[in-house]
Structure 1
Amino acid sequence: MSSNDIIVSLDIGTSKVRAIIGELNNGAINIIGVGSADSEGIRKGAIVDIDQTVQSIRNAVGHAERMVGIQISEVYVGIQGNHIALQTNRGVVAVSNEDREIGEEDIERVLQAAKVVALPPEREIINLVPKQYLVDGLEGISDPRGMIGVRLEVEATIVTGAKTSIHNLMRCVEKAGLRIAGVIPMSLAAGVMALTKDEKSSGTVLTDIGAGSTTVAIFDQGGLAAISTLPIGGEHVTNDIAYGLRTQGEMAEKIKLKYGCALINDAAEDVKFKVMRMGSNVEKEFSQVDLASIVEPRMQEIFQLVKQEVYRLGYGDKVGGYVLTGGAVTLPGTLELGQMELESSVRIALPDYIGVRDPAFSSGVGMIQYVSKFMGARGTSTVKKTANRKASSTVSSKPGMFERLKNMFNEFI
């Protein structure tokens, strides 16, 4: 990568669409622009209205463009949902060079061999993540380039998803006038940002609590070991508040953000607020304790479901700790409640960049870090920082959507 490459990540969530512009400067990442727009057309992480989703993407990207003064033509898109699944596979090839030195071509061939796996017709490979390479039976090799050997093997984790969900997501982005440089599983991206090397090796549960869903990703032995999505999140807390206080959902969200607290013991009885109730012109006064008595049970339920899911995935006794991220963990008291309910060490991860120090931006920033870390050496396609660049000049020459999906997986390793 050159010293002034621009990477743009697009996080299409249930409540917000976020576009983040990262600049690579001699290996260091600077976040230079952030665009955010209300998410329309998304329910529980799934696209239910393409036109509304396209408009939300345009609004978020336009916001980011105005902040920095560049034209965005190409983005990396995050994907998540309960259709994402993992499976392991091995690839084996003979080293092709006469001097038996393993080169780039051998690595490409063994990764392609690992992708040969039987899949149902409705599923596709999203990503392939090498866990380890083996050279003539020697295990634990992370990068075999330059080594001498006859037989090269790779043990890899294959991330698959439903074709319908993948193609609908890509369709929305392309209808918004953007070219897709790559599709990245959100859990992998968030793991790069949120977890240390030791945490990835010791059985850590990365819990991303979004608006419409909660993603549970278990990292073990240095990589992503299991993943699951629960259909519950911060939106359910908002709905509970709207029902409990008998007010509109929009008002309930504002009250949650301003006065919400996940622990009744941390709430203050003297903090009061008034709510316009539905079907009435009369405002009723409530205290922060009243609000917390609605929020705490739902947040407890989320953590209990996360814990049950970890046991269901077979990691109940192997967990070294939990790392929380996502927009819903910003409620005061969430960390303490998580520690009590999960009965383990818990911390909240957030990006360490000015302008995005919020758990809601973890996945978007993680995508930029993922691209720079794993795709930088492969000549990643990025947007150059050129003022008033026309998106049409790069979009017009792009291959078809399905051809791009087929070809871009090579870039992700």
Structure 2
Amino acid sequence: MSSNDIIVSLDIGTSKVRAIIGEVSNGTINIIGVGSADSEGIRKGAIVDIDQTVQSIRSAVEHAERMVGIQISDVYVGIQGNHIALQTNRGVVAVSNEDREIGEEDIERVVQAAKVVALPPEREIINLVPKQFLVDGLEGISDPRGMIGVRLEVEATIVTGAKTAIHNLMRCVEKAGLRISGVILMSLASGVMSLTKDEKTIGTVLTDIGAGSTTITIYEQGSLAAISTLPIGGEYVTNDIAYGLRTQSEQAEKIKLKYGCAFVADAAEDVKFKVTRMGSNVEKEFSQVDLASIIEPRMQEIFHLVRQEVRRLGYGDKVNGYVLTGGSVTMPGTLALAQAELESSVRIASPDYIGVRDPAYSSGVGMIQYVSKYMGVRGAAASTGKKTASRKSGTTASSKPGMFERLKNMFSEFI
């Protein structure tokens, strides 16, 4: 295994923390280990208790380690939330080679030039996504290496986030004894996994419905165009079930997963289940139709808010379809309800790898594909002996400079 590259992604969500181990061999990705743990200390996608979050990360990583029999030292961490913002900027440099051939150094310089942007002190750059390169005014170039020119420009989308949120996330991972190889915007990772090249070009809304929040990412003309996060998700459906059936949230979640249906028309009257009522030992029987009549209005509201947000962002008429992903879209009837509410073509995206064929794993698997495709495999875990040593030394002091160095050199992501 040490001869192949290992990439580990860490998806820290509101309901689950997932660690996914991918092995890259000759350009092919295999998912060899998956670990998940219940998320403690996170509300609506934001960290509210560092110690509990650290414990959840450790549990998920240990679960993945036991599955594969190796020790994880380095991880790529996904970030999302309503603090994420996009802005466009351009970088311009003169080609340095005497023969005017554009090389790696020129691309590095022009991307660094695009990163020179005025940011408030509380924000920092997470990712930089080149939209296109221009050589002597010629537009639409995706990779200018080897071309001849005098002036090189890049038009890029800069992804920024709140320093507090980024550093708290990094702090949790470091306290769990792991080194951070890179921080990746979840929506970018999900886009790599979930959307085709044509979907990114014609205008598509990638809607990731998690437990505590729904992330809306709009792709247009092949790149990231807009992003927004709504503080509503599958947790609200669970709360409605708990209230409607007068039972505990834990039991409501189990009922939702086993019997839930998002579309009343698709629910079966003859599917029955019993619920222990809160405050008594009496069990009451309900049908799947009863449950669906609680779930459908909340899911309708989520899709209504998604459509409203797309309009607010100014893409109401420019969108040619929706792609759904995230743990909350696995419920039967979700697709039919989404098509009715969004009045557009809708499909559900999920990874096509054994063991992770579930929309809940889209972000985690997407991060592995993203790293393999754009960032090259850096800081990936090597042999078992090295992992043990590096994990022990994965303290805050030793890992922080490496992390910022990597963020600083994110230019290589999309080239």
Report if aligned partners of 2:206, 2:322 keep a CA contact under 8 Å in 1: yes
The one-letter amino acid paired with 2:289 is V
- The residue aligned with 2:384 is 386
Give the alignment of 1:132-147 within 5 angstroms.
Answer: 132-147=132-147
User: 1:394 and 1:118 mapped to 2: Cα distance?
Assistant: 36
**For residues 131-187 of structure 1, what are the alpha-carbon distances to aligned partners after superposition, in whole Å with 9 as ceiling and x for unaligned?**
000000000000011111110000000000000000000000000000000000000
User: 2:183 and 2:132 mapped to 1: Cα distance?
Assistant: 22
User: 1:317 and 1:126 mapped to 2: Cα distance?
Assistant: 30
Q: Partner of 1:268: helix, strand, or coil?
A: coil
Note closer, same or farther for the CA distance 1:205–1:388 as it changes in structure 2 (3 Å cut).
same
Give the alignment of 1:93-104 within 5 angstroms.
Answer: 93-104=93-104
- The residue aligned with 1:235 is 235
Deviation of 1:392 after TM superposition, in Å, equals 3.3
1:401 aligns with 2:413: no
Report if aligned partners of 1:3, 1:26 keep a CA contact under 8 Å in 2: no
Deviation of 1:395 after TM superposition, in Å, equals 2.4
Q: Return the TM-score normalized by structure 1.
A: 0.97
- The residue aligned with 2:279 is 279
Note closer, same or farther for the CA distance 1:356–1:60 as it changes in structure 2 (3 Å cut).
same
The one-letter amino acid paired with 1:28 is T
**For residues 254-279 of structure 1, what are the alpha-carbon distances to aligned partners after superposition, in whole Å with 9 as ceiling and x for unaligned?**
00000000011111111111111111
User: 2:156 and 2:319 mapped to 1: Cα distance?
Assistant: 22
- The residue aligned with 1:290 is 290
Deviation of 1:399 after TM superposition, in Å, equals 4.0
Q: Partner of 1:145: helix, strand, or coil?
A: coil
- The residue aligned with 1:321 is 321
Report if aligned partners of 1:260, 1:331 keep a CA contact under 8 Å in 2: yes
Note closer, same or farther for the CA distance 1:98–1:397 as it changes in structure 2 (3 Å cut).
farther
Report if aligned partners of 1:181, 1:408 keep a CA contact under 8 Å in 2: no
Give the alignment of 1:154-165 within 5 angstroms.
Answer: 154-165=154-165
Deviation of 1:398 after TM superposition, in Å, equals 6.7
Report if aligned partners of 2:177, 2:395 keep a CA contact under 8 Å in 1: no
User: 2:405 and 2:162 mapped to 1: Cα distance?
Assistant: 15
Note closer, same or farther for the CA distance 1:340–1:409 as it changes in structure 2 (3 Å cut).
farther
1:37 aligns with 2:46: no
- The residue aligned with 1:189 is 189
Q: Report how many residues are paired.
A: 410
Note closer, same or farther for the CA distance 1:352–1:407 as it changes in structure 2 (3 Å cut).
closer
User: 1:72 and 1:193 mapped to 2: Cα distance?
Assistant: 23
Give the alignment of 1:331-410 within 5 angstroms.
Answer: 331-376=331-376, 380-386=378-384, 389-390=387-388, 391-392=390-391, 395=394, 399=398, 401=400, 404-410=403-409
The one-letter amino acid paired with 2:378 is T
Give the alignment of 1:101-180 within 5 angstroms.
Answer: 101-180=101-180
User: 1:347 and 1:90 mapped to 2: Cα distance?
Assistant: 35
Give the alignment of 1:245-284 within 5 angstroms.
Answer: 245-284=245-284
CA RMSD across the alignment: 1.4
The one-letter amino acid paired with 2:66 is R
The one-letter amino acid paired with 1:384 is A
User: 1:270 and 1:91 mapped to 2: Cα distance?
Assistant: 63
The one-letter amino acid paired with 2:355 is G
Deviation of 1:387 after TM superposition, in Å, equals 6.3
Report if aligned partners of 1:335, 1:348 keep a CA contact under 8 Å in 2: yes
**For residues 52-97 of structure 1, what are the alpha-carbon distances to aligned partners after superposition, in whole Å with 9 as ceiling and x for unaligned?**
0000000000000000000000000000000000000000001111
**For residues 104-144 of structure 1, what are the alpha-carbon distances to aligned partners after superposition, in whole Å with 9 as ceiling and x for unaligned?**
11100000000000111111000001000000000000001
The one-letter amino acid paired with 1:380 is R
1:211 aligns with 2:211: yes
User: 1:387 and 1:51 mapped to 2: Cα distance?
Assistant: 28
- The residue aligned with 1:92 is 92
Q: Partner of 1:306: helix, strand, or coil?
A: helix
**For residues 298-341 of structure 1, what are the alpha-carbon distances to aligned partners after superposition, in whole Å with 9 as ceiling and x for unaligned?**
00000000000000000000101000000000000000000000
Gaps in structure 2 of 5+ consecutive residues:
none
Deviation of 1:393 after TM superposition, in Å, equals 5.3
Report if aligned partners of 2:181, 2:406 keep a CA contact under 8 Å in 1: no
Note closer, same or farther for the CA distance 1:374–1:394 as it changes in structure 2 (3 Å cut).
farther
In percent, how many aligned pairs have the same letter?
82
- The residue aligned with 1:25 is 25
Report if aligned partners of 1:127, 1:409 keep a CA contact under 8 Å in 2: no
**For residues 177-234 of structure 1, what are the alpha-carbon distances to aligned partners after superposition, in whole Å with 9 as ceiling and x for unaligned?**
0000000000000000000000000110000000000000000010110000000000
User: 1:340 and 1:166 mapped to 2: Cα distance?
Assistant: 37
Report if aligned partners of 2:126, 2:161 keep a CA contact under 8 Å in 1: yes
